[in-house]
Amino acid sequence: MPQHVLVPIDGSDHGFAGLEYSLASFPDAELAALYVVDPASDRDATVGATESPLDRAETRGEQALDRATDRAAEHGRDLQTFLRTGSPHTEILAVATERDTDHIVMGSHGRSPLTHPFLGHVSEAVVRRAPVTTTVVHETTASIDERDLPGSILVPVDGSEQAEAALAYAIETFPDASHTAFHAMDLPFDRPREAVEGTYLEELLHDHEERAEAILESAAALADELGATIETETAAETPSRAIVDYADANGYDQIVMGGHGRSLAARLLTGSVAERVARRSPLTVTLVRGAPAAD
């Protein structure tokens, strides 16, 4: 369960949606908001202005942090605030390390021209490099306020330790949520079941179905150990597409998944499936780093 949560903001609605999510989701955590002044983003001086571009950017940052503090106070919460200058993703990761942060929550995009459902370049850089669990909030502040968080959570599973860690995180952090373990069978063919019956592909399909059953049984057993009951579902589709489509079509409130799965990427990089889901999902996505603790 998160203890020290860092919420980067940039004054945009998506940035504040990350704060709203954190206030609703982590009532016992220590929260901190970070605004990074990027000298490269505001170089043009305004004619007749008495402030330099950097001074104006710092003023905007202070105003955004004041607004965040006020919003936290409305929830009866304290909020630490930090104003830094530099490359945004570099400063976010640096502050996270300095503060011993165990969770980063940020909007999917801020003031960049990139729009939903794609990540902005700062969010994507943090997602790819953060060594701690990271939540990407794709929704607006109003949408987050309307949700009854934690709500229903879809947890993709593939038999990996990272997937088990994600399931344990979802159950332990959000015990009042409804949880569904979901396995996407990445079949090497695109044909309906009736089209492969009686062919060599039927055995291959059977193998995938048996593996899916074993993975979901393992997920249910883990949930039982944690004192929870979960639903289980499968789909025969490319994993990243299946996860996004299933969560969206079935009204889930958020997705929690391992930062990388069976094919481990470089130590601090997300796996390709997790990264694609974080990019494309219209819902909030949490990428969990770290394997479950040994017995």
139 with 194, same domain: the answer is no
> What total of structural domains would you count in the chain?
2
* Inside any domain, residue 60: yes
* Inside any domain, residue 293: no
30: domain range?
4-146
259 with 135, same domain: the answer is no
* Inside any domain, residue 295: no
208 with 138, same domain: the answer is no
* Inside any domain, residue 294: no
157 with 189, same domain: the answer is yes
Among candidate residues 101, 126, 146, the one where a domain is terminated? 146
142 with 156, same domain: the answer is no
pTM of structure = 0.86
Among candidate residues 125, 146, 167, the one where a domain is terminated? 146
30 with 122, same domain: the answer is yes
142 with 8, same domain: the answer is yes
Identify the segments of the chain with pLDDT beneath 70: 42-50, 109-119, 187-205, 260-271, 290-295
142 with 239, same domain: the answer is no
208 with 157, same domain: the answer is yes
Write down the pLDDT at residue 291: 53
Beta bridge partners, 156, equal 182
Among candidate residues 146, 181, 204, the one where a domain is terminated? 146
Write down the pLDDT at residue 1: 84
